[in-house]
């Protein structure tokens, strides 16, 4: 993972996160050893702003084969922290309110914006990882708050994961779903790659889980998280994208506490073939992946079952003291559900943690399972 499990894209209220007198001028620090330029790439333009209607009485507001193991006082400027689906484009904002008609404005379209680090105020670190860091940041002209993921090219090259980073950008930048973290764009300089990501102030689901009594969520909350994840996975699978690394550390919480899938470093776009790569997190590996057999989208169904168990029970179902014991438990699908877990929750888990991939409950059936129906209001 590019960000350790303790590294959350989270923090206190945004208006106190970046202050004028404490905005870290790390432009020089981050880019030490090289100026900004676009190298051989051309950074894509960020999406245009969402036009929000005025409120009225009727309007509603891969290192391959690498496995990880679970364990372990000046007032600041106002910042736009609205959980919008699009990042405002400052060049387009400059044309508003000028009295220029639409036709003339269309003829005066600005050139595509090329992003550099100088476009952003950099705030506090949100997380640190093996290949780089994540910072709270703000686009200077629009005051739009984002999370800036900074990857070190030397580390990426040394580990031979250039294809993994490229895959993460190619996949995530094209996804548009309320339960999937947005990637607004990217740019790079001589020594670093920068990913412009949606800011999720709630942090990781893992961090939130550690703060719960017994590290367990109430079942109604678990059902809501599972249902949100199912919705996102249906969207991904319809586009032939397999995530392959579903776990609490890769799930973030947005402004309203909504679940968002993040970190697509292990994801693949496989419309016609299956995969044999051993990847992801040990406790979440499916039996076919443990055996090195070809795998398909059904690996995400297994991970969904592991996640449901962990959220309800407070630990991973196949947790053991050694790798070998964990592998053995996975292959035998050997786990125990605590007696205080409801039968409905246990049934759903048992229909997902199935050794034969073909017999795992389809996502569409999970969405209408009695346990989900009992707790989720779909209005």
The tokens for 298 are 């059904």
d(CA 155, CA 131): 6
Q: Nearest Cα to 189, choosing from 244, 138, 152?
A: 152
Contact 159, 179 (CB under 8 A): no
The tokens for 132 are 């780089």
Binding-site entries: 130, 149, 198-200, 249-250, 263
d(CA 89, CA 219): 41
d(CA 350, CA 312): 13
The tokens for 40 are 């051989």
Q: Nearest Cα to 294, choosing from 332, 336, 242?
A: 242
Give tens-digit pLDDT for 224-249. 999 999 999 999 999 999 988 899 98
The tokens for 241 are 């994208």
Q: Nearest Cα to 180, choosing from 127, 249, 222, 228?
A: 228
- Domains in the chain and their CATH numbers? 117-198 (3.30.200.20), 203-377 (1.10.510.10)
Hey, is 207 helix, strand or coil?
A: helix
Q: What are phi and psi for residue 352, nearest 5 degrees?
A: -100, -35
d(CA 43, CA 79): 25
Supply the DSSP string of 254-293, one letter for each residue.
-TTS-EEE---TT-EE-SS--B----SBGGG--HHHHTT-
d(CA 267, CA 24): 33
Phi-psi region of 347 (alpha: psi -120 to 50; beta: other; left: phi over 0): alpha
Active-site residue numbers?
245
Give tens-digit pLDDT for 50-100. 444 444 444 444 334 444 445 444 333 444 434 445 666 544 444 444 444
Pairing of the two strands 259-261 and 251-253: antiparallel
Contact 3, 70 (CB under 8 A): no
Binding-site entries for ATP: 130, 149, 198-200, 249-250, 263
The tokens for 370 are 């009695």
d(CA 45, CA 71): 40
Supply the DSSP string of 117-167, one letter for each residue.
GGGEEEEEEEEE-SSEEEEEEEETTT-BEEEEEEEEHHHHHHTT-HHHHHH
d(CA 91, CA 113): 8
Contact 69, 149 (CB under 8 A): no
Exposure b/e, 127-165, CB count within 10 A at least 16 = b = bebebbbbbbbbbeebbbbbbbbbbbbeebeeeebeebb
Phi-psi region of 185 (alpha: psi -120 to 50; beta: other; left: phi over 0): left
d(CA 315, CA 337): 11
What is the residue-level pLDDT of the chain in tens, covering all 379 positions? 333 344 344 444 444 444 444 444 444 444 443 334 333 334 444 444 444 444 444 444 433 444 444 544 433 344 443 444 566 654 444 444 444 455 555 455 556 678 999 999 999 999 887 778 899 999 999 999 999 999 999 988 988 888 888 888 988 999 999 999 999 999 999 999 999 999 999 999 999 999 999 999 999 999 999 999 999 999 999 999 998 889 998 899 999 999 999 887 644 444 443 433 344 468 888 999 888 887 789 999 999 999 999 999 999 999 998 889 999 999 999 999 999 999 999 999 999 999 999 999 999 999 999 999 999 986 4
Q: What are the Cα distances from residue 143, in Å, to 46, 78, 82, 93, 215?
A: 15, 7, 11, 12, 36
The tokens for 92 are 């387009």
Strand partners, 180: 261
Q: What are phi and psi for residue 271, nearest 5 degrees?
A: -70, -25
């Amino acid at each position: 993972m590019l960000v350790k499990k303790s590294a959350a894209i989270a923090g206190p209220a945004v208006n106190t996160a970046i202050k004028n007198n404490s905005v870290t001028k790390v432009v020089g620090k981050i880019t030490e050893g090289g100026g900004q330029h676009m190298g051989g790439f051309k950074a894509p333009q960020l999406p245009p702003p969402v036009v929000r209607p005025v409120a009225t009485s009727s309007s509603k507001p891969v290192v391959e084969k690498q496995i990880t193991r679970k364990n372990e006082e000046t007032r600041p400027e106002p910042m736009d922290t609205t959980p919008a689906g699009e990042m405002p484009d400052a060049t387009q904002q400059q044309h508003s309110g000028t009295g220029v008609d639409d036709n003339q404005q269309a003829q005066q379209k600005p050139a595509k914006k090329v992003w550099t680090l100088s476009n952003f105020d950099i705030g506090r670190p949100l997380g640190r990882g093996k290949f780089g860091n994540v910072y709270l940041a703000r686009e200077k002209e629009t005051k739009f708050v984002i999370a800036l993921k900074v990857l070190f090219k030397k580390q990426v090259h040394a580990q031979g994961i250039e294809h993994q980073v490229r895959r993460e950008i190619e996949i995530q930048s094209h996804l548009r779903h309320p339960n999937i973290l947005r990637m607004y764009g990217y740019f790079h300089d001589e020594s670093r790659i920068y990913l412009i990501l949606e800011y999720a102030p709630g942090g990781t689901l893992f961090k939130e889980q550690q703060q719960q009594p017994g590290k367990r969520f109430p079942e109604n909350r678990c059902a809501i998280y599972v249902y949100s994840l199912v919705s996102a996975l249906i969207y991904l699978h319809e586009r032939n994208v397999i995530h392959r690394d579903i776990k609490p550390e890769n799930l973030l919480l947005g402004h309203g506490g909504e679940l968002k899938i993040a970190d697509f470093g292990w994801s693949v776009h496989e419309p016609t073939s299956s995969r044999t790569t051993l990847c992801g997190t040990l406790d979440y590996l499916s039996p076919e992946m443990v055996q090195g057999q070809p795998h398909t989208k059904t690996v995400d169904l297994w991970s969904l079952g592991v996640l449901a168990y962990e959220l309800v029970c407070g630990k991973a179902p196949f947790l053991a003291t050694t790798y070998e014991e964990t592998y053995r438990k996975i292959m035998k699908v050997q786990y125990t559900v605590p007696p205080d877990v409801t039968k409905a929750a246990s049934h759903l888990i048992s229909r997902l943690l199935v050794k034969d991939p073909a017999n795992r409950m389809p996502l569409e059936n999970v969405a209408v399972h009695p346990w989900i129906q009992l707790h989720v209001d779909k209005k």
